[in-house]
Amino acid sequence: MGLLAGIKSPEDVRRLTPDQTVALADEIRQFLVNEVSRTGGHLGPNLGVVELTIALHRVFSSPRDALVFDTGHQAYVHKLLTGRQDFSALRKQGGLSGYPSRAESEHDVVENSHASTALSWADGIAKAHQVKGEHDRTVVAVIGDGALTGGMAWEALNNIAACERRLVIVVNDNGRSYSPTIGGLANHLDTLRTTRGYEQFLDWGKRTLHRSGAPGRFAYGWLHGLKKGLKDVVAPQGMFEDLGIKYIGPIDGHDESAMEHALRRARAYGGPVIVHAITEKGRGYSPAEQDVADRFHAVGQIHPETGLPVAPSRFGWTSVFADEIVRIGRRRPDVVAITAAMLHPVGLAPFQEAFPDRTFDVGIAEQHAATSAAGMAFAGLHPVVAVYATFLNRAFDQVLMDVALHKAGVTFVLDRAGITGDDGASHNGMWDMAMLRIVPGLRLAAPRDEPTLRAALNEAVDVDDAPTVVRYPKGALVDAIPAVSELDGVDVVARHDAGEDGARRVLVVGVGSMAGTAMTTGEALAAHGLDVTVASPTWVLPVPAALVKLAGEHDLVVTVEDGVVDGGVGSMLAQRAGEQGVTTPQVHLGLPVQFLDHASRDQITTQMRLTAADATRDALAALALL
């Protein structure tokens, strides 16, 4: 691929002729379709920002001019233009990250792929430039229209507007985040999107006055009145300009020369400027352009010609939730559903179809989702807030102070809990159990299979005086693991009797998706002549009293969880056991308090010593049998 192969740095992009930039855009789109179809990744967002990103690198001088991408999943083109063109292991261990990565390049600034943060980053960088007297450096934040639904973005805009720092905000407006962007801002941008005639009309007015030869004072007054009268009708960008931020646009984001011209104007202004670019998600790839369900936002391996999956997805955890919440909705008219711009990814689309008036997508605003849910609970509803586990981190204060403090019956459903792997550090849902353990009155369920997930959801929505949480992992379902007995709410899923008097007894506890690992561990320990009980409680926080009792009946306790081990379920079990005088030694396996590089789930569990072999080895060592 001629032109792209010659791009090793942004300097090479700046040397291209205008015609060559058009050819380069075509090459990049073909490259993305070919490569991402093999590896999986965020295809649609990147196809939509090809010309925009080329223009950015032709106008600004990265890394001296910092380019900050929000949320970062649209940075594949940026990677290509900064010399990273080996996509063979994209989002795989040892390969390129699916988001900007400081370890990869000096051109990458922000690694966190949580949305609505870029403007605050840019504000901080611009302030630092000002303090250090570096007035020739510009900061550029690229933010999608969906990310502007997040409150943090507006906190940043409020501060940016009060300054004269060199800061350019590029609003990549495609009308979508995962799904169509919703809310008042979306309506405002939609108005701008469909009324592009403002500047053209003014240009016509200027040309008309010039030809008429009208006196200068009259011409100025006429033009000023025309501008004032038409501004809010033809191009209502006043919301931004009233904040004190200059507005340029809307611009066709797929016209590289027009984007370049707008960005040069913004750079020359010297203060905060919004450049409003209209783009099309999935541009240039027919299956994505024709898709209305946004299946191409992020894809697995697909056939590039058709966009169809290489291997059909197995029935997954999210599908079970999607089915069960509709069943609950039919029998419980007080149950409502809330999500934060992720209606389809978290499985709430069927609920919306069945109950459109009881489904609320609040945009990328997890804090608002949680507190709004508290208000609904106060008014007699039972809200179910469904988000990815990693995104609940953003609303911890609201869970604590708005929901729990007010004893609000709100159920939080956490998809992709635990190890998610290929999306990297910011997407692993590994913090929730250690974080939520300190919330008074909160109950948390970690179901191990389809039956326990359905049961946990039904039990959770029956709690009307405290927050409940149901967490489950990413991906396909495991085979059901039935209980062989039940002890006061704690499921025992396996017992292994050594058949010898005096055999030492080991309790293995598998939390949620680690139940299968616990089962295998139990079998391995039994082979060493040990009596083994394998337990998998669905409700793990607060720690069930029956689990503490079981711990006291054994000679060793081994816990396995896919959350942070410090402060996790095992840690809580040890604490509760100690408070009740249970002195049984315990071994806890879980994730360390560190950010995990992108890799597959199996690679991470092996690297972090979360396999059955690791649990068996640690148990035998604790019993001095190694």
Nearest to 341 by CA among 475, 203, 183: 183
Helix (H) or strand (E) holding 205: helix 197-212
The DSSP annotation for 416-442 comes to TBB---TT-TTT-B-SHHHHHTTSTT-
Q: Beta strand 66-70 with 139-144: parallel, antiparallel or unpaired?
A: parallel
79 is catalytic: no
Whole-number Cα distances in Å, 302 to 286, 296, 298, 307, 475: 14, 10, 11, 5, 17
Alpha carbon distance, N-terminus to C-terminus of the chain: 58
Amino acid of residue 2: G
The DSSP annotation for 241-308 comes to HHHT-EEEEEEETT-HHHHHHHHHHHHHH-S-EEEEEE--TTTT-HHHHT-SS-TTSSBSSB-TTT--
Which class for 258: exposed (0-12), middle (13-18), buried (19 or more C-beta within 10 A)? Answer: middle
CA distance 79 to 100: 8
DSSP letter for 317, please.
Answer: H
Under 8 Å between Cβ of 544 and 488: yes
Residue 587 β-bridge partners:
558
Amino acid of residue 51: E
Amino acid of residue 262: A
Under 8 Å between Cβ of 498 and 530: yes
Which residues lie below 8 Å from residue 555, measured CB to CB, with a gap of 6+? Answer: 504, 505, 506, 584, 585, 623
Tell me how crowded residue 592 is: count the other CB atoms within 10 A of its CB: 12
Taking only Cα atoms into account, the Rg of the chain, rounded to an integer number of angstroms, comes to: 28
Binding-site residue set for Mg(2+): 145, 174
Binding-site residue set for thiamine diphosphate: 73, 113-115, 146-147, 174, 285, 366
228 is catalytic: no
CA distance 299 to 308: 10
111 is catalytic: no
CA distance 124 to 112: 15
Binding-site residue set: 73, 113-115, 145-147, 174, 285, 366
Under 8 Å between Cβ of 426 and 111: yes
Q: Which of 58, 92, 137, 394 is catalytic?
A: 394
Q: Which of 281, 295, 416, 474 is catalytic?
A: 281
Q: Which of 35, 260, 366, 561 is catalytic?
A: 366
Positions marked catalytic: 281, 366, 394
